[in-house]
Structure 1
Amino acid sequence: MHAIKIYVGILLALCAATTAGAQTLTAYTEEWAPYNFQDGRDVKGIATDLLREACKTARVNCKVEMVPWARGYKIVRNTPDTVLFTTARKPEREDHFLWVGPILSRSTWVFARPHPADAAGTRELNKLRFGVVRGEAAYQDLLNAGVAPASMLEDSSNASILRLLLSGMVDAMVDTEVAMAWALRSSSLDASTVVKHSNLADEGAYFYAFNLKSNPDVVGRLQAAIDKLKRQGRVDALVRRYTQP
């Protein structure tokens, strides 16, 4: 009996030491279904679930917090051992973060309220008033496409921008096909509520963006975990879970 008590004591001490020394990572994300979104008290989505699985594989404690995109971006730029997702890896952001991924390829589209010219995408982008998420990559993409800053109305989330579009306060917005289909379906709106005007950007991919002073060992372990999960088909499985009816 005495030997058993000693053995149990050693196990408890080892567990306590492991927990005390475990790396804790705080992840910040926005409301952008089906990649990341609030479901009751939980945060779910393709990228959220993948991050949690990667953290489990890499033996990293992960805490996920939902915040407006611009706030999360600022926090992660200034706070070690934090990560921002789902983040487009763009040339102007390259030196701002440590990158883990890719998670998914990136292809964004301009969606507009129905208009006779939009089926062929003949209305010039610089003639449209856009709603954009504050701080998102699409803002620079639109600038590169010739849209003036004065023609862009910023808000905190894609859901807010969609409401602006449906109310007529803006003419168009930028999103992925997957995210727009989810947004319309979850709002019980027909697919014809908006039209796909034109392809805006196909460059790069979506990643997890880590603060530059984050623990390099943790970043490396998480990259290895993501690579392993992708080889096992987990990304494709998560996409199917969240996109197929």
Structure 2
Amino acid sequence: MRILQLLPAWLLLCASVSADAQPGSAQVSEVRLLAGAVPYYCQAERDRPPSGLACDVLVEMAHRAGHSGKLEMYPLPRALVIAAATPDVLLAPVARIPAREATYDWQIPILEDELVAVTRQDSTADISSPDKLQQLSVGVVRYSASAITARERGWQHVEMVASEVINARKLRAGHIDVWISAWNAIRAAQQQAGLPLADLRRGAVLGRVQIYLVSSRSMPAARLALWKRAFESMRRDGTYQRILNKYRYETPM
């Protein structure tokens, strides 16, 4: 009789454990959503939520994918390290370049930009081609696509900084000859530094880059499918285009 009394409780316990193990249950932790701090794409001001083209896309995708929308903001170098070393992480914006290809799974191309060289309008520096940059002092953000490009080209006078706004100010002060980054990021950083865009002169285009939402390696396909469907629905109903228009996205020339 004692065994019969205990049996229903034992069955209930087994059912509870089984339910907790189901992928769709409330016990399954949600994807960790990261944003790398890059002007124009993702940026945070004091006492305000993160904003920028990529951040707006991420938050809207999260809403449609049933995610809480909690967005963790880090300097881009740190965000890249976290996504490479931690499971179940989504991160944007990440420029797709060969040096990063094997580190992440490349899920959703958000937009395309181009790496360009800029200098001051009053500068006599020749930045018309990549070869002309060899002897100039070049400003890049560490671990960025620009920094990797500079290293691969063997440039000797490269100065690494933590943010694009610092490069804008260094160029203005004459501490570097040329600044290399994605064009839309340059536009935003120049504005954040309180400097006119008209003060800049564009030079060589070092290549086009696609800006991606990436995941840590081997994230389950079922989880990723929700985010891909969310992005496609944004494209279909015009939300994605409205975000591009909001930030005055300039397509590569």
Q: Could you state the TM-score of these two structures normalised by the residue count of structure 2? A: 0.79
- 178, 198, 202: which one pairs with 1:196? 202
* Aligned twin of 1:50: 57
Alpha carbon RMSD of aligned pairs, Å? 2.4
Contact 1:141/1:201 (8 A) holds in 2: no
Larger radius of gyration: 2
Q: Does residue 1:176 correspond to 2:182, yes or no? A: yes
Aligned partner of 2:182: which letter?
A: T
Quote how far apart the aligned CAs of 1:237 are: 1.1
* Aligned twin of 1:116: 124
Quote how far apart the aligned CAs of 1:106 are: 2.4
Query: Which whole-Å CA distance do the structure 1 matches of 2:84 and 2:105 have between them?
Result: 10
Q: Which has the higher contact order (CA 8 A, sep 6+)?
A: 1
Q: Quick one: structure 1 residues 31 and 166, their matched pair in 2 at CA, closer, same or farther if it must change by over 3 Å? A: farther
* Aligned twin of 2:240: 235
Aligned partner of 1:103: which letter?
A: I
* Aligned twin of 2:19: none
Q: Does residue 1:87 correspond to 2:94, yes or no? A: yes
Select between 208-217 and 43-52 the one with higher mean Cα deviation. Answer: 208-217
Query: Which whole-Å CA distance do the structure 1 matches of 2:89 and 2:76 have between them?
Result: 14
* Aligned twin of 2:155: 147
Query: Which whole-Å CA distance do the structure 2 matches of 1:105 and 1:123 have between them?
Result: 24
- 40, 44, 69: which one pairs with 2:46? 40
* Aligned twin of 2:104: 97
Q: Quick one: structure 1 residues 138 and 84, their matched pair in 2 at CA, closer, same or farther if it must change by over 3 Å? A: same
Quote how far apart the aligned CAs of 1:137 are: 1.2
Q: Name segments (4+ residues, structure 1) moved above 6 Å.
A: none
Gap runs ≥5 in structure 2 = 1-23
C-alpha deviations, 1:166-197, integer Å up to 9, x for none?
A: 22222112223322222333443222322112
* Aligned twin of 1:206: 211
Quote how far apart the aligned CAs of 1:117 are: 4.6
Gap runs ≥5 in structure 1 = 1-17
1:87 aligned counterpart, secondary structure: strand
Quote how far apart the aligned CAs of 1:75 are: 0.9
* Aligned twin of 1:64: 71
* Aligned twin of 1:160: 166
Q: Quick one: structure 1 residues 22 and 240, their matched pair in 2 at CA, closer, same or farther if it must change by over 3 Å? A: farther
Quote how far apart the aligned CAs of 1:19 are: 8.2
Greater helix share, 1 or 2?
1
Aligned residues: 224
Quote how far apart the aligned CAs of 1:109 are: 0.6
Query: Which whole-Å CA distance do the structure 2 matches of 1:144 and 1:239 have between them?
Result: 31
Q: Does residue 1:226 correspond to 2:249, yes or no? A: no
Aligned partner of 1:217: which letter?
A: A
Aligned partner of 2:240: which letter?
A: V
